[in-house]
Amino acid sequence: MAPTHDHPGEQAAQDPIRLLEIRETPLSVDEIFRAVGDDAAGGTALFVGTVRNHDGGQDVGALGYSCHPSAQDEMRRVAEKVAADFPVRALAAVHRVGELKVGDLAVVVAVSCPHRAEAFAACRKLIDDLKHEVPIWKHQRFSDGTEEWVGAC
């Protein structure tokens, strides 16, 4: 991207995608927040998705996430599109797979931009598109013994 010419510090970051991972280990909000730090960013938006204790009127006892082998590539494609459509200084997204407990962090995404409105919009687009386009599936097991698979996040 070319400089904006408003201020030298507003030149676009060389590679705004700082961290993209699917991992089996616990997530850290601090890690993702640090990954999107940028001196030219005036706004940073962060979204944290946690495992809740209910869904659709049923008590969730346990759940697990799994993904297709293409999930990492699809995550990159989504991130690149967000970085191209917004003035992103830095972007990060990490999603858990494996067995999680109520309260665990399932996904953390963050975006920094020159201004807050752009950061909010880009972060919203990032999490919404990850949810709808990246092949990550949730297997919920309810306290009454029933279970369900929920497609893409």
pLDDT surpasses 70 at 3: no
pLDDT surpasses 50 at 149: yes
pLDDT surpasses 50 at 120: yes
User: What confidence tens digit (pLDDT) does each residue in 30-84 have?
Assistant: 999 999 999 999 999 999 999 999 998 999 988 999 999 999 999 999 999 999 9
Residue 151: the pLDDT is 75
Q: Is 85 left (phi over 0), alpha (psi -120 to 50) or beta?
A: alpha
User: What confidence tens digit (pLDDT) does each residue in 15-42 have?
Assistant: 999 999 999 999 999 999 999 999 999 9
Pairing of strands 105-113, 90-96: antiparallel
Residue 1: the pLDDT is 41
User: What confidence tens digit (pLDDT) does each residue in 97-119 have?
Assistant: 999 999 999 999 999 999 999 99
Rounded CA-CA distance 78/72 in Å is 10
Q: Identify whether the C-beta of residue 112 lies closer than 8 Å to the C-beta of residue 88.
A: yes
The alpha carbon dihedral of 60, 61, 66, 72 has a sign of positive
